[in-house]
Structure 1
């Protein structure tokens, strides 16, 4: 299958040398699911119905679901079984509700399965390798350092150009930059760039309809869920201390 947008996101968040993730799992899980949904909108697997009163930008009438909700288009479903199930589960839901009902506040662990699935895909494609190590010499953990860093470095180059505005952004790269900004990973990937400017650019990419209203609306809603999911563990830790 073609490399999913979420696989690009996961690859970017893996440290090339250490093989550990640069962001907390509480943010990464929802972000991977959100990137998957944005990818579906970009490739036409899912459409998004207009909100009430909005100008309708899709030809099919009547819409199969209510306003502001995903619907399955006539495009073939993803060949990958897990991605196909996520697309079907998202249909009929608003973007923010799709993330929360599929994987954030449920016991299905879809986000965990998705992360493992995407990691296995990166290993199979030879982009990262899987190895085991022990923390403090005691606790085993699995890490995924780079095997072939060229793809990741090319993605970093594309993102840098988008954040700096030096090159026109493709819809895919702009979407990736917006999601990276939502999990506050851009400053870690580009420590030489101004943090405030990076946040501002990511916000602009989320709100601008450079790839149509459906993508912009999806990015806006999933960003809200990603930020909320990252805040919950902090609240729990703080209240328990």
Structure 2
């Protein structure tokens, strides 16, 4: 199989290896994953930010190449975005539904997690996704720890992962170290992400989508 995507790395990081449960809430996991897929598409040149040469407003996001990618998660995302332009937040929101399930399937196919089914009170079905192979995850975690704890300079991929973890308030849950130091360093990396304005706008969109979803949930309760 191809190298793991950013979304696959992100999901493996926010799944507890032993229990198979998320270490973040549903809202954080789903918005973070949607943002990770969006960043994958940006890095692959499948999605881009509009400029003066495009019709309509600049600074929005559009699909540049909707041809099949060979990755069902990406193909699903491109189909959802279609031929419209979106703000970063709206693009992330479009990618939320079904993405966690789709990325988990990829992890199962890779043999890095497995599904364990059970029932609650003998009636309600429940699934957990414990790790079966942590080799790649340990390498990724080591790189993140070098950046957040030892102060190493991040490469582009590690910077994106750190920024995503910061957006969902999970950096301190992924690596050991002083909580305040880890959070401060993660914010610094997120603010100075080497991916440029489009990537920073996409990361801001993850936070905006989380805030909007939380506000909608509060209003409906």
With the shorter chain as reference, the TM-score category is 0.7 to 0.9
- Alignment counterpart, residue 63 of structure 1, candidates 26, 32, 54: 54
Residue-pair matches, total: 218
Q: Kindly indicate whether the alpha-carbon contact (under 8 Å) linking 1:48 and 1:214 is maintained by their aligned counterparts in 2.
A: yes
In the alignment, structure 1 residue 204 sits paired with structure 2 residue 188: yes
Correspondence for 1:184: 169
Q: Kindly indicate whether the alpha-carbon contact (under 8 Å) linking 1:128 and 1:146 is maintained by their aligned counterparts in 2.
A: yes
SS in 2 for 1:141: strand
Correspondence for 2:209: 225
SS in 2 for 1:142: strand
**Distance in 2 between the 1:175 and 1:87 partners?**
20
Deviation at 1:135, TM superposition (A): 4.1
**Distance in 1 between the 2:40 and 2:67 partners?**
14
RMSD, matched Cα: 2.5
Q: Kindly indicate whether the alpha-carbon contact (under 8 Å) linking 2:15 and 2:23 is maintained by their aligned counterparts in 1.
A: yes
Q: What runs of 5+ residues in structure 2 fail to find an aligned partner?
A: none
**Distance in 2 between the 1:169 and 1:156 partners?**
12
**Distance in 2 between the 1:85 and 1:115 partners?**
12
Q: What runs of 5+ residues in structure 1 fail to find an aligned partner?
A: 51-60, 104-110
**TM-score, normalising length: structure 2:** 0.86
**Distance in 1 between the 2:159 and 2:63 partners?**
23
Deviation at 1:124, TM superposition (A): 0.8
After TM superposition, the runs of 4+ consecutive aligned structure 1 residues lying more than 6 A away are none
**TM-score, normalising length: structure 1:** 0.79
Correspondence for 1:57: none
Q: Kindly indicate whether the alpha-carbon contact (under 8 Å) linking 1:187 and 1:198 is maintained by their aligned counterparts in 2.
A: yes
**Distance in 2 between the 1:206 and 1:65 partners?**
29
Deviation at 1:134, TM superposition (A): 3.7
Deviation at 1:176, TM superposition (A): 0.8
**Distance in 2 between the 1:166 and 1:93 partners?**
36
Alpha-carbon deviations, 1:3-57, whole Å to 9, x = none?
221111111111111111111112211111111111211222211135xxxxxxx
Correspondence for 2:106: 121
Deviation at 1:165, TM superposition (A): 5.1
Distance 1:136 1:49, change over 3 A: same
SS in 2 for 1:78: coil
Alpha-carbon deviations, 1:159-180, whole Å to 9, x = none?
1112135322111111111111
Alignment of structure 1 residues 12-23 onto 2, 5 Å: 12-23=13-24
**Distance in 2 between the 1:144 and 1:166 partners?**
32
